[in-house]
Amino acid sequence: MRSYRKQCEGKRPPDKGRIRQIVVKSRPGAPNQGLLQVAGAVFPCALGRGGISANKREGDGATPLGVMRLLAGYFRADHVARRSTRLPMAVIRDDLGWCEVPEDRNYNRPVRIPYAASHETMRRQDRLYDVCIVLDWNIRPRRRGRGSAIFFHLARPGFTPTEGCVAVSRAAMLRLLPGLSTRTVLRVTR
């Protein structure tokens, strides 16, 4: 007998409004800028200062080539109203950091700051993490030195390069957020 889950697979309601895939490609002539395509819409985006790399390493500034699932997100409650989304979202507290030291036991994980090892401060003054979504790059399994803190977040004016993340305008992020879920994948191609 088939399992209940298998029996119900064909009976699920349609995923209206849900975003299953986001495709990111580098913009011709600008390796650290890209075009983000989703459900027929195209948005400009910023990529890592190192462009797109199939061999991502800690500190290279490259955006990893590949498919990354959206895991969860953070937002600044003092800058952005809580939005409807299917992603688990948490408020960025003053003591939230993200460890970026490959030798540390908490490498590529959130940490409470102050923290002895080098870390990213999530409550940024430049507002890039007012909405910040964690991608599953190098999360499970974590491999030392393969890159940390690869996020989908807000872009600087002019879409200047990131340290390896994918970044979009605030308007684009707020438009996409309601359709994002843990089933959404971000596919970085060339």
Whose CA is closest to 33, among 46, 42, 22? Answer: 46
Domains and CATH numbers, the chain: 17-189 (2.40.440.10)
Q: How many CB atoms lie within 10 A of CB 117?
A: 15
Average pLDDT of the residues of the chain: 91
The two structure tokens encoding residue 141: 């399994």
Cα separation, 103 vs 101, whole angstroms: 6
Question: Is there a contact between 173 and 154 (Cβ–Cβ < 8 Å)?
Answer: yes
pLDDT in tens, 136-151: 999 999 999 999 999 9
Q: What percent of the chain has pLDDT over 70?
A: 92
pLDDT above 80: residue 4 = no
Look-up of token digits 């940024």? 124
> DSSP secondary-structure letter at 80?
S
113-122: per-residue pLDDT in tens?
Answer: 999 999 999 9
Residues 6+ apart with CB under 8 A from 33: 26, 27, 44, 45, 46, 47, 159, 161
pLDDT digits (tens, 9 = 90+) for 93-113: 999 999 999 999 999 999 999
Distance of CA 112 to the CA centre of its chain: 20
Rounded Cα gap, residues 83 and 67, in angstroms: 25
pTM of the complete model: 0.89
Closest by CA position to 149, among listed 124, 183, 172, 176:
124
